[in-house]
Amino acid sequence: MESQSTYELVRTWASAGGLVFMVVLFAGIVAYALWPKNKKKFDRLAHLPLQDDDKPADSKKAENGDTDSTETGR
């Protein structure tokens, strides 16, 4: 009977500790995301997918001299 009550005590403390840990972790992530110092970085990263390149990806490789070894006949 003693081991069962010890198990329940450890389980209760572990679940409570896990909850506290997750709440603190969540608050830390939100604070990092909303920190004023990081605003420029996150704004730049938010607009990155919207940037339009004028040249297709294949022409960029050709300009850099990169060639794919699997391409034949070119």
Residue pLDDT, tens place only, 5-20: 888 989 998 999 999 9
How much of the chain, in percent, has pLDDT values that exceed 70?
Answer: 66
pLDDT(69) > 60: no
Q: Annotate 12-43 with b (16+ C-beta within 10 A) or e (fewer).
A: eeeeeeeeeeeeeeeeeeeeeeeeeeeeeeee
Rounded to 5 degrees, what are φ and ψ at 68? -85, 130
pLDDT(33) > 70: yes
